[in-house]
Structure 1
Amino acid sequence: MRKLWTIMLMAVVTACSAGGGEVLPTAAVSAEAAPGEPKDVATNLSVPWGIAFLPGGDALVTERDTARLLRVSPAGDVRELATIEGVRPDGEGGLMGVAVRGDQVFLYYTAEQDNRIVRYRLTGDTLAEPRVIVQGIPKGGIHNGGRLAFGPDGHLYATTGEVGDGELAQRRDSLGGKILRMTPDGAPAPGNPFGTLVYSYGHRNVQGLAWDPSGRLYASEFGASSYDEVNLIRAGANYGWPEVEGRGDDPRFVNPILTWTTDEASPSGMVYADGSLWVGALRGERLWQVPLGQDGSAGRPVAHLADRYGRLRAVANAPDGTLWVGTSNKDGRGSPRQGDDRIVSLTPTS
């Protein structure tokens, strides 16, 4: 318990010093409010990057480096549906985000020349009818973004990275360093701020998206050497990279609602559950719980699973109310443990 409270204190100090003011808690969150004991769902995977649930309760899981799309049941049955044609894993790129809408499956992956979003039709265990709906997203050995998620407005959102070229994040004519919003056919969604796919810009490398019950969108973002971020996303807003890392108090840019030092987080997958954001940390090797206020503000973050499972990347809401959390210890930066990589299930608590 002493270790957990130490981690809490470090995060609070970071949030306050980076944010220029006190970050107040919105709920009593403590070690006693920790999630239920995690249980293995699936083991011996290889860099599970994205998790999305099918209407029947099974999950689709992407493996970044093998380009395999897996079907995983709540009981832990794992079946390979396909090795996705055209994926070219490279560094941080490969088969990444997955989203589901009815019998349609959307995948974000690194191809020969670009990152792209492809739509498929799933019938039983057969993946067919591939259609590229977005192409030309910059690709690189680092910072490929990759998260896909449907918002409460029914539109598909995608996160992209600036592939190590920070200036792309500020160029509204580039798809790099952005959050994109589109129809299921890949067209700019109605109401997008610039009439293009771009919804927000000035991002370094967003890998987590989540919505609260009021429909507010949050994104988790990797910093460079100082501060990782959670941002409250507004249409058309500029989040400052590469001019600002963390809080800049520059009227041209939107400040994050929360920062960590980069060794505490490297935040990737993120979901909303029970009044909090739940954020998987890669370098930080923990699951962060970030309580949210009614106005969308962030309370004091609490760390769970610290140093227990290694690098955590994928986080998803399961139909039964649990969270599925995937490790990323075989991604070249972790230390694989027996049974890695794995997906565990736990019950969140407020």
Structure 2
Amino acid sequence: MGKITALALAAALLTACSSGPPGGARTPGPLPATGAATGPATGATTPAARTGAASPGRPRELARGLDVPWGVAFLPGGDALVTERNSSRLLRITPQGKVTDVGGVPGVRPGGEGGLMGVAVSPGFDRDRLVYVYFTAAADNRVMRFRYDDRIGPLQEVVTGIPKGANHNGGRIAFGPDGMLYVATGEVYRTELAQDKNSLGGKILRVTPDGEAAPGNPFGNRVWTWGHRNVQGLAWDEARRLYATEFGQDRLDEINLIEKGRNYGWPEVEGVGDDRDFVNPLLTWTTEEASPSGLAYAGGSLWAAGLRGERLWQVPVKDGRAGRPIAHHTGEYGRLRTAVRAPDGSLWVTTSNRDGRGSPRRGDDRILVFPLR
């Protein structure tokens, strides 16, 4: 199977791999640069002006004293719904920082890396009032929805039977430009699930708002792409290209350009490989530099929240190709979990210092708002 290829420790621009014919193998391109090439060992920020992309200003603290804020989704009007992984609470937070406890989501069983995770607001919310959540239940991970009228209505099943485990539960959900719901899942340390197209583990799923296999899916089921280890970030650019972050095992974390029906190689490949049956990542970092969870697209760049790396990564992208990654605010706020673009164009970033792996600071966990200029 795929042989892991050593990565260059420094490079200038990262070049995305070109796609072959539909159903064909993807031809590996030049080796991506690792995050180690971004600047001094101190993690100092490389000026984004050199890339022509937006750069973040100093953040303001929007909310504090939260319990592992995991998912953020915006309602019409600009308020956000925020999930807390460990408490199972759903919060409503205004752009001015007013926090309202909406209540606990029933049926959540927090533990390890599981709990109340992703949240998505229906594209037709003004009409249907539907909110979707991804969480760990007694027997599985699942996507449920409810009608939201300033409270949590009765839960309805959307996707159930997603494998659960102590770790690698995935959890990010988002509606794409096509109106379909995309669901990022993990392989819960059962690596064989990632290469099984009939399993919901280690995949990106694409479903209708009711949870059925979306029209045009490559295998006639809910699977959109496969061969993933643990995806926790999804973002689209203005050309409707989908990107995803992925945790590596011991060596290399990834950002991938997600394409219908493709196999992203886990567990046969970590990082870049030389097997044409698998898609190579757009870029990789070492796990110490990144452990990327949430992903946003704004101002011509992808923004990846780094957990173990404790920094906000900016990756300029153009035409599906990734530029040299830029590290911002290394170590200033601890572990970063989620990055999402707000309706006003700013970037909301959550910390994750109370998740059992961080060192909580006074005020943690918090939501920070970065203006983009």
TM over 0.5: yes
TM-score, with length taken from structure 2 = 0.86
1:59 alignment partner in structure 2: 80
1:249 Cα deviation (Å)?
A: 2.1
1:126 Cα deviation (Å)?
A: 1.6
Cα distance between partner residues in 1 of 2:108 and 2:239: 36
Of the three residues 234, 251, 273, the one matched with 1:209 is: 234
Of the three residues 90, 94, 97, the one matched with 1:73 is: 94
Cα distance between partner residues in 1 of 2:191 and 2:324: 30
Q: 1:192 to 1:31 in 2, by over 3 A?
A: closer
1:129 Cα deviation (Å)?
A: 2.8
Cα distance between partner residues in 1 of 2:183 and 2:209: 12
1:107 alignment partner in structure 2: 133
Cα distance between partner residues in 2 of 1:232 and 1:170: 18
Structure 2 counterparts to residues 1-350 of structure 1, below 5 A: 12=11, 20-21=30-31, 28-29=49-50, 34-101=55-122, 102=125, 103-123=129-149, 125-294=150-319, 296-349=320-373
Q: 1:152 to 1:39 in 2, by over 3 A?
A: same
Give aligned-pair identity as a percent.
Answer: 61
Cα distance between partner residues in 1 of 2:263 and 2:244: 13
Q: Which has the higher strand share?
A: 1
AA aligned to 2:154 is: E
- Kindly provide the CA deviation profile for residues 205-235 of structure 1, in whole angstroms up to 9, marking residues without a partner as x: 0000000111110000000001000000111
AA aligned to 1:106 is: Y
AA aligned to 2:243 is: Y
1:317 Cα deviation (Å)?
A: 1.0
What is the number of residues matched between the two proteins?
337
Q: 1:98 to 1:212 in 2, by over 3 A?
A: same
- Kindly provide the CA deviation profile for residues 251-296 of structure 1, in whole angstroms up to 9, marking residues without a partner as x: 01000000000000000000100110000000000000000022x0
TM-score, with length taken from structure 1 = 0.92
1:34 Cα deviation (Å)?
A: 3.7
- Kindly provide the CA deviation profile for residues 113-158 of structure 1, in whole angstroms up to 9, marking residues without a partner as x: 00000011111x1221310111000000000000000000010001
1:4 alignment partner in structure 2: none
Q: 1:313 to 1:22 in 2, by over 3 A?
A: closer
Q: 1:210 to 1:22 in 2, by over 3 A?
A: closer
1:90 Cα deviation (Å)?
A: 1.2
The alignment's C-alpha RMSD in Å is 2.2
- Kindly provide the CA deviation profile for residues 63-122 of structure 1, in whole angstroms up to 9, marking residues without a partner as x: 000000000111111111110110000100000000001111000000000000001111
Helix, strand or coil at the partner of 2:194: helix
Helix, strand or coil at the partner of 1:203: coil
Q: 1:79 to 1:166 in 2, by over 3 A?
A: same
Cα distance between partner residues in 1 of 2:339 and 2:212: 27
Helix, strand or coil at the partner of 1:292: strand
Q: 1:291 to 1:32 in 2, by over 3 A?
A: closer
Q: 1:252 to 1:10 in 2, by over 3 A?
A: closer
Cα distance between partner residues in 1 of 2:68 and 2:312: 17
Contact 2:107 2:137 in 1 (8 A): yes
Contact 1:316 1:323 in 2 (8 A): yes
Cα distance between partner residues in 1 of 2:50 and 2:195: 37
- Kindly provide the CA deviation profile for residues 295-342 of structure 1, in whole angstroms up to 9, marking residues without a partner as x: x01100001111110000111111111010000000000000110000
The unaligned stretches of length 5 or more in structure 1 are 1-8
Helix, strand or coil at the partner of 2:193: helix
